[in-house]
Amino acid sequence: MLTGPHGGLLSQMASVDSHLNQVSRAIAAIRKGFQGQLRIDEIAAASGMSASSLHAHFKAITRMTPLEYQKRLRLQEARRLMLADGANAGNAGYAVGYDSPSQFSREYRRLFGAPPRQDIERLQAMPDSAAAY
């Protein structure tokens, strides 16, 4: 396998100190506390990188900054709460770490293309197999 076309990637993934492995540790740390305030220095320490190295390698691998990744996690979880649990937008936004309902709504619309209520109503009207959150 290591001599095949993806051998380099497999070798890098197996290396404990690879950037891919370090970014994976950063992702795990962000996922663990995505509702709270993102502290880059803590995420960098958990991943074994400096803050500037974390930012550069995180973006190279995920095509997002750590903050953008956290926002996406928050918004996807809020969408799940509204769709699966029936939470309203205000409660869902607050549950995932937003203090401002207007900021939550603005960022939600930017990611999903519609305000929370409209997006959830559209998803609920879809057949079960097509409603992906």
Does residue 14 fall inside a structural domain? Answer: yes
The CATH number given to whatever domain includes residue 86 is: 1.10.10.60
Domain count of the fold of the chain: 2
Does residue 121 fall inside a structural domain? Answer: yes
The range of the structural domain enclosing residue 85 comes to 70-125
Average pLDDT over residues 51-61: 95
**Above 70 in pLDDT, residue 14?**
no
Does residue 16 fall inside a structural domain? Answer: yes
Last residue of a domain, one of 45, 63, 81: 63
Does residue 131 fall inside a structural domain? Answer: no
Specify the pTM.
Answer: 0.78
Q: How confident is the model at residue 132 (pLDDT cuts 50, 70, 90)?
A: low
Does residue 2 fall inside a structural domain? Answer: no
Residue 101 C-alpha from the chain's centroid: 19
pLDDT tens string 62-101:
999 999 999 999 999 999 999 999 999 999 999 999 999 9
pLDDT tens string 20-52:
999 999 999 999 988 899 899 999 999 999 999
